[in-house]
Amino acid sequence: MEDGIKDRDSVTSLPDEAGENIGEIRRAVEVLFEPGVVAELRAFKEGKTTSGYFDDFEKLAEQAAKLDGRGFAVYTTLNPVEPTLLARATNRVRPVYREPTTSDADVACRRWLPVDFDPVRPAGVSATDREKGEARQRAMEVRNYLRGEGWPEPVVSDSGNGYHLLYRVDLPNDRESLELVKGVLEALSFRFSDERVSVDTTTANAARIWKLYGTTARKGDATEGRPHRASGMLKVPGEVDACRP
């Protein structure tokens, strides 16, 4: 693949209880979060939600690996949350029912502008290799277009069913930043979305949760044509520079 970006292999079996991909999870956490910030880990399985808040990212990685091994879909907040939220569940996870999770007002600032490329397919099923390949091609088209517009190199990631570009930003969590990020995503969608691949315009909110790389994408049952796959970071620039959208 170009620029050393290589797709991850499909996996049709679940990781074991210890978490086969904890090394990849640790790498993702190191890239996504600055030391000293607080992040929420949130996971879903069969209508159940598990959540916790972490400033100890080794513990976050360990808990994420365990949840992944138990068949949960595992996500994290991309942007740092207010430190007071740590008191909800300090460096641990617990089932949540009516308890609050992170809202947009709980985010301290914006550190990432996420662009999600998802193959168009029926809801609740994994992507085929062909569908996923089309998402990869579209992600590279957008990366090259933004590179030509003077944007820095993004973190390129495999979500399991599609692809992500993560651009580092340094923005306050306010109405102006929301409108700015929404405008970027809507402009990219207008230019690059079609009947095969969509640029997701719903990821603009500050408290958006994001696939935690190293964990498994599970949409529907794993079949030969639509397997479950491990997610992961494919390319991380040596210097992750903040862009000015």
**pLDDT tens by residue, 112-163:** 999 999 999 999 999 999 999 999 999 999 999 999 999 999 999 999 999 9
Residue at 244 is within a domain: no
Q: Is residue 241 in some structural domain?
A: no
Q: Assess if residue 150 is contained within a domain.
A: yes
Residue 133 in domain: yes
What pLDDT is attached to residue 16? 44
Q: What's residue 14's pLDDT?
A: 40
Total of domains in the chain: 1
3-state secondary structure of 28: helix
Q: In the numeric block, which tokens belong to residue 76?
A: 């994290």
User: Which residues touch 67 (CB under 8 Å, ≥6 apart)?
Assistant: 41, 43, 50, 74, 93, 215
User: In which residue ranges of the chain is pLDDT below 50?
Assistant: 1, 9-18
Supply the range of the domain harboring residue 223. 2-235
> What distance in Å separates the CA atoms of residue 149 and residue 46, rounded to the nearest whole number?
43
- The predicted structure's pLDDT at residue 149: 96
Query: b/e string for 35-71 if b means 16 or more Cβ within 10 A?
Result: eebbbbbbbbeeeeebbbbbbebebbbbbbbbbbbbe
- Is the CB of residue 41 less than 8 Å from the CB of residue 54? yes
CA angle (202 as vertex; 116, 125 as ends), nearest 5: 60
| Structural domain contains residue 242 | no
245: in domain? no
88 within domain boundaries:
yes
List the CATH number of the domain containing 52: 3.90.920
Spatial separation of the C-alpha atoms in residues 42 and 101, rounded to whole Å: 9
Residue 33: per-residue pLDDT: 96
Whether 76 contacts 30, CB under 8 Å: no
* Segment 112-126, tens digit of pLDDT: 999 999 999 999 999
Percentages of the chain per state (helix, strand, coil), in multiples of 5? 30, 30, 40
